[in-house]
Structure 1
Amino acid sequence: MMRMLPGIVLALPAVCFAASPHCANWPTDMALIHLKNAGIADPARIDESRTKAVELATEKVGKDRYRQIYDITYHEKSGKEIRVITSSEASSEECSMGRVDVYVVSRKIGGP
């Protein structure tokens, strides 16, 4: 039993920290399509290297199914910033488990 203890201790973090999938690319890409279709942004004017997606929340909604909320900031080459909040569902197998709801943030008040 004592010989198995180091193996168990090393494997424990993988079990304890098993979390939802990291699927920032799917909502980031879909939000940009929604922004284009709404006439708010032109993908050709976006500086993709400065695009930032921050996962705000994850909720388990089923067996291996998670609702994920992202705060995504796009930067146009002109310097204009476009910010959205997205809600989408993902699994460990697939990031695109359904539609991506996109909310445009017109102004942030408070906080850093």
Structure 2
Amino acid sequence: MTSPETETNTAETTESKSDEVAETLADAVTEATQSEVATVDAVEEEDPQTVVFSLVGFFLAYIPLVGVIVNAIAVVKAGKEGFDLFLAKWGLVLSILSTVGALLLVGLGFWLGVEAGRSGM
């Protein structure tokens, strides 16, 4: 059999361990709640002007130079404000590709026009 002192020590040890576990759990819950609140605050602080620039730039991506300019502004504004707007980056990529494509078509048209002029003489 166990002595009354051993039973008392065991009960005190169990209570102190459960208190430590409860405190650790409470700290973890507090930290998780604070990080969620910080995340929500960061999302709510997003500048509407940056979002508008991103959307307009994405839709104007196929107008060669205008799309590049508007999307470049959107990417710079998003970078300065700490937002990661993939829409602005995709709009910039699409507008650069459309500008390069338009320049290639103009160059091809010019070259074909010059060749047609040489053979027509």
User: One fold, TM greater than 0.5?
Assistant: no
Answer with 1 or 2: which has the greater Rg: 2
Higher helix fraction: Structure 1 or Structure 2? Answer: 2
- TM-score, normalisation: structure 1: 0.32
More strand, by proportion: 1
TM-score normalised by L of structure 2? 0.30
